Chain A
Amino acid sequence: MTTQMQTIAAQDLNECRNMPVTPRRHPGRAVAGAVVLIFLGWLALGAVRNPAFGWLTVIHYLFNRDILRGLGLTLWLTAVVAVLGFALGTPLALMRLSANPVLRTTSAAYVWLFRSVPLLVQLLFWYNIGYLVPVITVRIPFGPTLLALPSRDLISAQLAAIIGLTVHEAAYAAEIVRGGLLSVDPGLMEAARSFGLSPRSIFRHVILPQALPTVLPAAGNLIVGTLKGTSIVSIIAVSDLLYSAQLIYNQNYQIVPLLMVATLWYIAATTCLGVLQRFIERRYAPGTLAQAGGRKGRGPLGADV
């Protein structure tokens, strides 16, 4: 395109005062939109027409009792792991920021170790803990043994799943909470300290409300990841959503339709989590991007959308 400079005579310039402005056209947008819509339509048509998807089978099994039970277990596992993960991760984050070098190093080592070992490997370890620690005993130091149980009986597949997922989750939760704590303006902590407030009071009323806007989006992300990540427990025969679907297709060989059933439920659950997350962010982190995203106008990068 060539640039040409336009000069306007003085009296014409005056006439321009109240002239309407024709908006610039964006023909590229319409073309790009059409291409994407055609492509999506083609994909959807292919999915509906492909008999291998077995949509009737999908509908038949969608509300199957075993599938729903599996879904329940998946949701329950997610909730337990998220709660325990953050309950363990928060003290780890505080330890990491502590002045005590022993606490700091321990926390760093924990995060390093449990972020380094793949979740699948950890699950197998916990599931096979019996080889490592055959008998779990509860005893008074140098005193009598109160309780001694074989690990295999104590650590069921489900407990192994909870432990494995939780220690993994805690490592990530610790980093998320630490990031939130570091985002708080140190001047605020200083001001709170200058009033002679206790650390507990400062944490509860000053640091936490300031850290939440940073913590919540990342925490929501982690929990959505956990929901899907729980599907890995099917490897140690915990009858979650995926494993329940697998049990069925191992009998009737309708592999794709049953995977679709599981997929649809995973999508439904993550969608609900997403809605919940938006709600919580609006409630506890007002005035941040959670609200800016809903406004019309320019996108977050300053581009018109």
Chain B
Amino acid sequence: MNSPNAPMVRIRGLRKVAGQAVLLDGIDLDVARGEVLCVIGPSGSGKSTLLRCLHQLETFQRGVIEIDGELMGRRLSEGRLHELPEREIRRQRAQVAMVFQSFNLFPHMTAQQNVAFAPTQLGKDSQAAIAALARELLARVGLAGREDAYPAELSGGQQQRVAIARALAMQPKVMLFDEPTSALDPELVGEVLEVMRELARNGLTMIVVTHEIEFALSVAHRVAFLEGGRILEHGAAGEVLTRSAHVRTQAFLRRFNTGVGSQGTAKPSRL
């Protein structure tokens, strides 16, 4: 592990192309330990791709990603970067956890089994310890008593909270959220954001791709605005979201401030 002051995540010159399209065009970004970074931007700007590269679910052509002092997916030797073998990449993936927009819970497993599944497969601890951890995490996201429910028996908000517990069970160094509330009915958004707020308070390092501007304002330490695969602007949440100097950011944010600005709070005001 690196020194406690070094950033948890460092990204330099991250570039990804797919065919003719440039998805990420030289991203430089640091995330400190315990920091919450919100990534905003129009759809197709590369937000999800950035998360997926961080998690090595997708490959990238240029640049480096370092998490907790360890180079992701690459090994540096004699002035060249070499792709790591699959087994190493799997080990690195397990240090990062992702919460998906569409939950992606395993439908044939109960909430408890969903949370316990990966740690059990990876042999992280004894069966009993993992089961106890799973129960504890489900209680932490407000789902005590629903351990034996299957995903189909849970509401969207509950499913996403199981997914968060499932990600926490990996005891990740960084947690990635890919539009975690975009697939939810408006009245269910609040309960998920509340859980995320709690995680932030507990000092978890989080990178959150979101359209919830109020959440970003109240929880994020910093906000990065992405467009066309580049970071157009990034800085303190209040700066970027309320006093942005950038024309593109202003245009993007204006859409949220006209009537749907309070989208995602516990009591939606647009009704």
- CB of A188 within 8 A of CB of B57, answer no
Distance in Å from the Cβ of A52 to the closest Cβ of chain B?
A: 54
With contacts A194-B55, A197-B122 known, is A205 near B117, CB below 8 A? yes
Return the contact of A195 from the options B89, B100, B152, B170 (Cβ within 8 A).
B170
CB-defined contacts of B252 to chain A, threshold 8 Å: none
- CB of B98 within 8 A of CB of A210, answer no
B107 within 8 Å of A by Cβ?
yes
B262 within 8 Å of A by Cβ?
no
Interface residues on chain A, number (Cβ under 8 Å): 18
- CB of A191 within 8 A of CB of B106, answer yes
A184-212 residues with Cβ-Cβ distance < 8 A to B are: 185, 187-188, 190-198, 201, 205-206, 209-210
CB-defined contacts of A287 to chain B, threshold 8 Å: 152
Return the contact of B94 from the options A188, A191, A196 (Cβ within 8 A).
A196
Residue of A nearest to B92 (CB): A196
A209 to B150, CA, bound (A): 15
- CB of B57 within 8 A of CB of A201, answer no
Distance in Å from the Cβ of A98 to the closest Cβ of chain B?
A: 14
- CB of B121 within 8 A of CB of A205, answer yes
Residue of A nearest to B169 (CB): A195
- CB of B91 within 8 A of CB of A191, answer no
Distance in Å from the Cβ of B133 to the closest Cβ of chain A?
A: 15
B118 within 8 Å of A by Cβ?
yes
B76-118 residues with Cβ-Cβ distance < 8 A to A are: 89-98, 100, 102, 104-108, 117-118
Return the contact of B102 from the options A187, A193, A194, A209 (Cβ within 8 A).
A187
A195 to B99, CA, bound (A): 11
Distance in Å from the Cβ of B17 to the closest Cβ of chain A?
A: 19
1/0 contact trace for B49-79 toward A, CB 8 Å? 0000001010000000000000000000000
Residue of A nearest to B101 (CB): A187
A187 to B96, CA, bound (A): 17
Residue of B nearest to A185 (CB): B104
Residue of A nearest to B98 (CB): A194
- CB of A198 within 8 A of CB of B90, answer yes
A187 to B163, CA, bound (A): 13
A191 to B97, CA, bound (A): 9
CB-defined contacts of B98 to chain A, threshold 8 Å: 191, 194
- CB of A194 within 8 A of CB of B93, answer yes
8 additional A-B residue pairs with CB within 8 Å, beyond A194-B57, A196-B122: A187-B102, A188-B107, A191-B100, A191-B105, A193-B57, A194-B93, A205-B121, A209-B108
Residues of B within 8 A of A (CB): 55, 57, 89-98, 100, 102, 104-108, 117-118, 121-122, 152, 170
What 9 A-B pairs are tightest by C-beta distance, nearest first? A196-B94, A195-B118, A191-B104, A196-B93, A196-B90, A187-B104, A209-B108, A194-B98, A201-B121
